[in-house]
Amino acid sequence: MVAGDIVLTGLMAVLLVGIAALLTRIENWRSYTPLAGGGTATGETVVHREKPAGIIRWLTTVDHKDIGLLYGLYAIIAFAVGGIMAFLIRVQLVTPAGAILSNNAYNSILTSHGITMLFLFGTPIIAAFANYFIPLLIGADDMAFPRINAIAFWVLPPAALLIWAGFFLAPVTDNMIEPARTAWTMYTPLSVEQTNPGVDLMLLGLHLSGVGATMGAINFIATIFTERDGDVDWANLDIFSWTMLTQSALILFAFPLLGSALVMLLMDRNLQTTFFAVEGGGPLLWQHLFWFFGHPEVYILVLPPMGLVSLILPKFSGRKLFGFKFVVYSTLAIGVLSFGVWAHHMFSTGMDPRLRASFMAVSLAIAIPSAVKTFNWITTMWNGRLRLTTPMLFCIGFVSNFIIGGVTGVFLAAVPVDLILHDTYYVVGHFHYIVMGAIGFAAFAGIYYWFPVFTGRMYQRTLGKAHFWLSMVGTNLTFFAMLALGYLGMPRRYATYQFDGAIAPLVQVTTFHQLATVGAVILLVGQLIFVWNIVQSWLEGPKVEDGDPWNLERDGMLDREFEWFDEQLEADEHERDPSLLADGGQDEQTDS
């Protein structure tokens, strides 16, 4: 122990001295001049180029577009990791005895899959779009606090390493530190009793990601309130910014609460406190705190994707968003209501039936603003001039999947139905229609729609369509099979299902599990095509020459981000032609 501490001290000292040395080499602390505010300031120093070269650019950037790209790369990597985990889960379940994993391995992968997808893919992919495009959409130079923006991103890579730490450390520590097996809800007493330090590392990772999300939310609120261009007011603020504003408010109320609950759990585990012990606050206290965060979290994840669809879908319908105002109002209504429904995740815990009834009422009520949005999307397309481009296909897929996900949710919100379906695959089917079928699809729509803006190139259209159809078929096959499994009584979070026929009819259950796995294979093929398309087109795709690649001008729907893009294209042209350098072209020459 003592030797270990000395080694650790030495390591830390070397690290700190190294960092200090590095900082004094690249940064001049004496030159700092006090300025008003913390915006990106050029001071009196001469600017040669916007950004340093190579890897240093990415490690030190405080530019919202670069940070958006970093978030995007991060989220796609997390999506791949979480996706491979999901695929392993589906392979395991092709036979009742389990095909490839031990029970422990299954539980570890199940836990990591959920947390990775929600916290390392979902929240960051939204932040990617928001960082890149909100300043462009509202005509701001950058985010209100560019440095806090960068800090909010840089806590995420360590958060991911901590969340996955058990997988890396188990082989080298002789299984002393293993991956957490708490499921993403981390219910007590289970999560207190697992003494495995991998659980602590995961909790810390989650805490860090929450710190990052909160910093990001503060930044978006400040940006949308204070950095808008003069002619962008509340009446013509775009719909994506509205949903981000609402989402950020939800984050501001929900994530600090998760952070505190996680700290309490860590203290119960390490410092013998009794917040969630029977003799203290009781295990149900965790469920209340967790779901008071957890339900708003599902809207934190779905509101901005709804905003993306509300922004993109009209562009390819040739019509303005139907009932824009009501889409905004319903966003705000969902934001408020989402804090009043958390106990619908706890109907079967034996809580007071009167409380249960009131949570049921509010949960059913939240379906109303959700339906308002759905009808608005449908009416936007009604009699429109539809153009079935890849982003549009993903928007339509979103609406279709959201309807199934939402309607199944309404059933779950009814207490008697929930008592039967709770903890079955029906719940898994319900929320995957939303998290994959809706949120995932909106993310793809956004990536394809703005691909020309952030890469300057066009993706391959045929591959895009293949990606859509494989995703649509795969999603519906996989998750519809899960709804059926739930009706048959298949419980969720099982590594094997060789149970007695009294729980569920084994033959049918096996068949539906196999169908779900076939769907997962189709999904996987689709995502491989997606990655290939993005990478190859980014490197070699045809350059976009026109600032309006979607031909939106015709309908008067060219938003500011494309106008900005057009200006960039023109500026690039000047750069390529040296004779035009005199009128403001950028000087490529670096100084000594």
Residues within the interface to ligand HEM (CB under 6 A)? 185, 298, 301-302, 344-345, 363, 366-367, 370, 406, 409-410, 412-413, 418, 422, 427, 430-431, 434-435
Residue partners of 533: CB distance under 8 A and separation at least 6: 459, 460, 463, 464, 467
- Does an H or E element contain 430, and which? helix 425-432
211 touches, from Cu ion, other proteins, ligand HEM, none (C-beta below 5 to 8 Å by class): other proteins
Between residue 47 and residue 106, which ones bind other proteins under the rule CB under 8 A?
47-52, 56-57, 59-63, 66
Note whether 150 binds other proteins by CB under 8 A.
yes
Alpha-carbon gap, residue 542 to 554, rounded angstroms: 23
DSSP structure class, residue 339 = G
Note whether 295 binds Cu ion by CB under 5 A.
yes
Residue partners of 408: CB distance under 8 A and separation at least 6: 426, 429, 430, 433, 483
User: HSE on the CB side for 513, CA within 13 Å?
Assistant: 28
Residue type at 283?
A: P
Q: Which is nearer to ligand HEM, 301 or 392 (CB)?
A: 301
Note whether 143 binds other proteins by CB under 8 A.
no
Token pair of 259, please? 């952070």
Note whether 16 binds other proteins by CB under 8 A.
yes
Q: Which is nearer to other proteins, 141 or 423 (CB)?
A: 141
Find the shortest distance in angstroms from Cβ 451 to ligand HEM. 25
Between residue 174 and residue 233, which ones bind other proteins under the rule CB under 8 A?
197, 200-201, 204, 207-208, 211
Q: Which is nearer to Cu ion, 351 or 524 (CB)?
A: 351
CA-angle at 74, arms to 402 and 157, nearest 5°? 125
Grouping H, G, I as helix, E, B as strand and the rest as coil, residue 119 is helix
59 touches, from other proteins, ligand HEM, Cu ion, none (C-beta below 5 to 8 Å by class): other proteins
Grouping H, G, I as helix, E, B as strand and the rest as coil, residue 383 is coil
Find the shortest distance in angstroms from Cβ 402 to ligand HEM. 8
Alpha-carbon gap, residue 359 to 341, rounded angstroms: 5
Size of the site for Cu ion (CB under 5 A): 1
Reference 202, options 184, 214, 189; nearest CA is 184
Size of the site for other proteins (CB under 8 A): 70
Stretch of residues binding other proteins (CB under 8 A), selected from 42-50, 71-79, 97-105, 528-536? 42-50
Note whether 30 binds other proteins by CB under 8 A.
yes
Token pair of 208, please? 């860090």
Q: Which is nearer to other proteins, 263 or 503 (CB)?
A: 263
Note whether 64 binds Cu ion by CB under 5 A.
no
Please check whether residue 234 is in contact with residue 191, taking contact to mean a CB–CB distance below 8 angstroms.
no
Alpha-carbon gap, residue 52 to 48, rounded angstroms: 10
> Per-residue b/e over 318-328, b at no fewer than 16 CB within 10 Å?
bbebbbbebbb
- Burial label for 231, CB within 10 Å (0-12, 13-18, 19+), is exposed
Stretch of residues binding Cu ion (CB under 5 A), selected from 101-109, 294-302, 395-403, 466-474? 294-302
310 touches, from ligand HEM, other proteins, Cu ion, none (C-beta below 5 to 8 Å by class): none
Find the shortest distance in angstroms from Cβ 328 to Cu ion. 23
Stretch of residues binding Cu ion (CB under 5 A), selected from 295-303, 321-329, 399-407, 535-543? 295-303
Q: Which is nearer to ligand HEM, 295 or 319 (CB)?
A: 295
Question: Using alpha carbons only, how large is the chain's radius of gyration in Å?
Answer: 25
Please check whether residue 428 is in contact with residue 86, taking contact to mean a CB–CB distance below 8 angstroms.
no
Please check whether residue 437 is in contact with residue 489, taking contact to mean a CB–CB distance below 8 angstroms.
no
Q: Which is nearer to Cu ion, 295 or 432 (CB)?
A: 295
Chain residues in the site for other proteins (CB under 8 A): 5, 8-9, 11-13, 15-16, 19-20, 22-38, 40-43, 45, 47-52, 56-57, 59-63, 66, 142, 146-148, 150-151, 153-155, 158-159, 162, 197, 200-201, 204, 207-208, 211, 266, 270-272, 591
